[in-house]
Structure 1
């Protein structure tokens, strides 16, 4: 009950600050298993895209959250776990490379394992294929995770999304949000074509996200 009340409070605050407008340009909001993949410029991206989804989709959609940021205090850990039902991931920059002397199980850790588990359980997920936040307005090259998930779960619908203006709400290094009208534009689903290699697919997925910027 507390988590639900906090969720509604956060939703109200986010919508008051940003408007959290959802624009379904290429597909309707539909309760089917999806991987939403979006540009990434702020820690607030997770909250923004969560707030833009209608309630029936929020309940079945789990955003990914960088453990080193979203679980570094009890409050953020509680909110991401109990309110957002987030999937924690280890960012490459935060995780040291395992040495040859490390136990085999430590060297074999798969950073995609939590996402695979969420998809196997039937959840939809929200991911940011750049891996880290960009600061140029143009998404960085997509990392391979999206391709790996798309090929492992070909039945899951891949929906590109463009998050607009949210980096101005919470600029890097700031802790007080600024009211700015923001939106999330959801585009037409894509899929991995037969025989399509990793990099061509990732470049096409990135282009699908960028194409929504001026819609």
Structure 2
């Protein structure tokens, strides 16, 4: 793991500044429907349109849960440059996944399972990439394998509305718009459920939340 070149001292201040700026800019509000904040291990899975997605989701959690909730992110992006490494490692305590050719998916599942086994939570984007379209992409298999490996962790769908318009891909400065994060009911993996069926159910859970936001 890369060590931060800015040190550990500024991390709390940086977290406060980032969360305050995100809240002031977007007016983000969290709607809990069917689930409430919990100290147990959870996998928050959400739609993905911007690098700001995990920042707002993390910021929307109660302060006592943020330190135990870790975004899952690509090491190839976040290990580029001192500032990115500081933000993901020191501020958000992220789980960096190696996406280079030759790295097996079992390694990533093992990384994430270790976090959940400690009772901490994860923020995951099962589309696997930032999506600028109006259609939710099919989910990749990681969510299924993680749910199978960690059956005691709750899977909470979270629909992030409007962030694509606040921080569109390629834009340096965000636009001030209202963002809503809707937390839905937990999704459970069936004992004999196939990967395809489970992933489609999880995707439908997000789509349902998106319609409730309208």
Q: Normalising by structure 1, what TM-score? A: 0.90
Q: Tell me which residue corresponds to 2:6.
A: none
Q: Tell me which residue corresponds to 1:182.
A: 179
- Unmatched 5+ stretches in structure 1: 99-105
* Residue aligned with 2:55, SS: helix
Aligned match of 1:13 in 14, 21, 26?
21
Q: Tell me which residue corresponds to 2:149.
A: 152
Structure 2 CA distance for aligned equivalents of residues 16 and 146 of structure 1: 32
* Residue aligned with 1:112, SS: helix
Aligned match of 1:85 in 90, 93, 102?
93
**Over residues 119-169 of structure 1, what are the superposed CA-to-partner deviations in whole Å (9 max), with x where a residue is unaligned?**
223210010011111121221100111110111111111111101111112
Aligned-CA RMSD value: 1.6
**Over residues 168-212 of structure 1, what are the superposed CA-to-partner deviations in whole Å (9 max), with x where a residue is unaligned?**
121111111111111110000011112111100000000001100
The number of equivalent residue pairs is 204
Aligned match of 1:139 in 136, 139, 149?
136
Compare 113-122 and 2-11 and name the one that shifted more: 113-122
Ranges of 4+ aligned residues in structure 1 off by more than 4 Å: 106-109
Q: Tell me which residue corresponds to 1:103.
A: none
Contact (CA 8 Å) 1:37, 1:127: kept in 2 or not? yes
- Unmatched 5+ stretches in structure 2: 1-8
Q: Normalising by structure 2, what TM-score? A: 0.90
Shift of 1:107: 6.6
